[in-house]
């Protein structure tokens, strides 16, 4: 029930849905149409401004660092790909840096093993297992199967943590673990791993750039990518609060 409710909540917290609802309200309530349209325009401009979106994202993200120690296992969280049944291709998304960075850390000798955590996160399971798809990618990039650990049952972040902790506590009782996930997802991920009693070091990926653009179109004009940034950010805030309260 919690899983289904979380999917519904993820849909409702999108800023573009809020704007859409405001426009519908403007059509229904004619007497307050002007006021509601002004609110709609202001809401749209705020959430479509890239400068504002990036500033809030930087405040939330966990800062990246250069590891100086070695770790037994690098834990890579899913949410980076889906499967095209027609072309039979694994399509990586904007979070694919999680897997790419893990490869580099492995080849540099910073992590000795790579754990891939992720089953099928869809509301209606289509049979696609993300961790197994990620394993195929690693094998094609000359990482031996003996150095890959699979956790293929989790559907969300808390299940990533619980299932991964169960495997790692058995195999690496005194192990050191590097948690590899997106910078804006790291706070929620570490909260879950702490709840699962597995101590990890955060290695954030796909961070927002540290420099700030001064281009006028970036600062002033609406951009579709800002709406997506806010969607991800509000999703993380909401997930963090819900997990904090529930677990």
Question: What pLDDT, on a 0 to 100 scale, did the predictor assign at position 231?
Answer: 95
For the CA atoms of 14, 17, 18, 19, the dihedral, rounded to the nearest 10 degrees, stands at 120
- Which pair of structure tokens corresponds to residue 208? 């927002």
Say how many C-beta atoms besides its own lie within 10 A of residue 177's C-beta. 22
Cβ partners under 8 Å of residue 25, min gap 6: 36
Instruction: Reduce the secondary structure of 169-183 to three states and give it as a string.
Output: HHHCCCCCEEEEEEC
First-to-final CA distance of the chain: 15
pLDDT band for position 83 (cuts 50, 70, 90): confident
124-127 long-range contacts (CB < 8 A, ≥24 apart) are: 126/83
Average pLDDT, the chain: 91
From CA 247, how far away is CA 234, in angstroms rounded? Answer: 20
Computed over its alpha carbons, how large is the radius of gyration of the chain? 20
pLDDT surpassing 90 at residue 5: no
In the prediction, which pLDDT does 173 show? Answer: 87
Structure confidence at residue 91 (pLDDT): 84
pLDDT at residue 108 tops 90: yes
**pLDDT value of residue 87:** 79
Least confident interval from 8-22, 29-43, 59-73, 215-229: 8-22
CATH for 71-205 is 3.40.50.620
| Least trusted range by pLDDT, from 3-12, 124-133, 179-188, 237-246 | 3-12
Q: Give the percent of the chain with pLDDT over 90.
A: 72
CA 172/CA 159 separation, integer angstroms: 19
Mean pLDDT of 14-27: 95
pLDDT value at residue 80? 87
pLDDT tens, position by position, 34-46: 999 999 999 999 9
Cα 224 to Cα 99, 125, 198, distances in angstroms = 26, 29, 38
Both tokens assigned to 206? 């796909």
pLDDT classification of 123: cutoffs 50, 70, 90: low
Q: Position of tokens 């399971």? A: 125
Q: From residue 200, give the alpha-carbon distance in Å to each of 52, 149, 175, 176.
A: 31, 16, 10, 7
Q: What is the model's pLDDT at position 13?
A: 87
Looking at residue 226, its pLDDT comes to: 97
| CATH 3.40.50.620 domain extents, the chain | 71-205
Give the predicted TM-score (pTM) of the model. 0.90
Among 69-73, 85-89, 127-131, 223-227, the range scoring the smallest mean pLDDT is 85-89
3-state secondary structure of 16: helix
Measured N-to-C along each axis, helices 33-47 and 15-28 cross at an angle, to the nearest 10 degrees, of 170
Q: Do residues 155 and 121 lie in contact, with contact meaning Cβ atoms separated by under 8 Å?
A: yes
Among 4-8, 21-25, 147-151, which stretch is predicted with the lowest mean pLDDT?
4-8
pLDDT tier at 210, thresholds 50, 70, 90: confident
Exposed, middle or buried by CB within 10 Å (0-12, 13-18, 19+), for 101?
Answer: buried
Q: What does the pLDDT read at residue 101?
A: 96
Q: Which residues pair with 222 in a beta bridge?
A: 49
What is the band of 194 on the pLDDT scale with cuts at 50, 70, 90? very high
Strand 89-92 relative to strand 111-117, pairing: unpaired
Say whether pLDDT at 121 is over 70.
Answer: no
Task: Give the residue carrying structure tokens 């009782």.
Answer: 173
DSSP 126: -
């Amino acid at each position: 029930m919690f899983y289904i409710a979380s999917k519904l909540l993820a849909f409702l917290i999108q800023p573009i849905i809020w704007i859409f609802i405001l426009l519908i309200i403007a059509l229904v309530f004619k007497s307050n149409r002007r006021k509601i349209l002004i609110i709609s325009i202001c809401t749209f401009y705020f959430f479509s401004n890239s400068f504002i979106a990036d500033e809030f994202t930087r405040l939330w993200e966990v800062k990246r660092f250069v590891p100086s120690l070695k770790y037994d296992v690098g834990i890579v969280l899913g949410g980076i790909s889906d499967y095209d049944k027609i072309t039979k291709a694994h399509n990586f998304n904007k979070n694919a840096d999680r897997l790419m960075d893990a490869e580099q850390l492995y080849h540099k000798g910073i992590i000795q093993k790579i754990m891939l955590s992720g089953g099928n996160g869809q509301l209606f399971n289509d049979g696609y297992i993300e961790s197994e798809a990620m394993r195929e990618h690693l094998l094609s990039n000359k990482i031996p199967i003996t150095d890959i650990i699979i956790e293929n049952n989790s559907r969300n972040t808390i299940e990533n943590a619980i299932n991964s902790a169960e495997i790692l506590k058995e195999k690496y009782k005194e192990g050191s673990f590097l948690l590899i996930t997106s910078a804006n997802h790291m706070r929620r991920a570490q909260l879950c791993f702490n709840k699962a009693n597995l101590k990890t070091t955060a290695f954030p990926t796909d961070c927002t750039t540290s420099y700030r653009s001064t281009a006028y179109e970036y600062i002033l004009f609406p951009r579709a990518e800002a709406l997506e940034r806010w969607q991800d950010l509000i999703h993380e805030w909401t997930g963090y609060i819900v997990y904090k309260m529930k677990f």
